[in-house]
Amino acid sequence: MELAPCAKTVLKQLPKAGGVKQAEWDVDSKLLTLVFNPSEVSLVKIQNRIVAAGHDLEGKKAKELVYNELPECCHYREPITAEHDQSGNQGLSQYQTIRGIVLEADNKGKFNPLLNASAVWLGTGKGVTTDSLGYFEITHNGTDNRLVISYTGYKSDTITVTNINELKVVMASNSQLRGVTVTNSTRSSYISTISPIRTEVMTSRELLKAACCNLSESFETNPSVDVSYNDAVTGSKQIQLLGLSGNYTQLTVENLPG
CB 146 within 8 A of CB 158: yes
The SS3 assignment for 149 reads strand
Q: How confident is the model at residue 129 (pLDDT cuts 50, 70, 90)?
A: very high
CA 90 – CA 77 distance, rounded (Å) = 21
Per-residue pLDDT tens digits for 57-98: 766 777 777 777 776 666 666 554 434 344 444 434 456 788
The residues pairing with 149 across neighbouring beta strands, listed in sequence order, are 119, 157
- Is 191 a residue whose pLDDT tops 90? no
- Residue 13 has a pLDDT of 63
- Residue 130 has a pLDDT of 92
- Is 43 a residue whose pLDDT tops 70? yes
Per-residue pLDDT tens digits for 207-248: 777 666 666 677 767 777 777 777 777 767 777 766 666 556
- Residue 58 has a pLDDT of 66
Q: Which helix (H) or strand (E) holds 49?
A: helix 43-52
Q: How confident is the model at residue 186 (pLDDT cuts 50, 70, 90)?
A: confident
Which is more confidently placed, 167 or 23? 167
Domains in the chain with CATH codes: 7-74 (3.30.70.100), 94-171 (2.60.40.1120), 189-252 (no CATH)
Q: Tell me which of 36-45, 133-142, 153-162 is least confident.
A: 36-45
Using CB atoms within 10 Å of the CB of residue 202, give its burial: 0 to 12 exposed, 13 to 18 middle, 19+ buried. Answer: middle
CB 6 within 8 A of CB 73: yes
The SS3 assignment for 250 reads coil
- Residue 148 has a pLDDT of 92
Which is more confidently placed, 141 or 92? 141
Q: What number is the average pLDDT over the span 21-37?
A: 70
Output the pTM of the full model: 0.38
What's the mean per-residue pLDDT of the chain?
A: 73
CA 222 – CA 206 distance, rounded (Å) = 8
Q: How confident is the model at residue 177 (pLDDT cuts 50, 70, 90)?
A: low
- Residue 250 has a pLDDT of 58
- Residue 257 has a pLDDT of 60
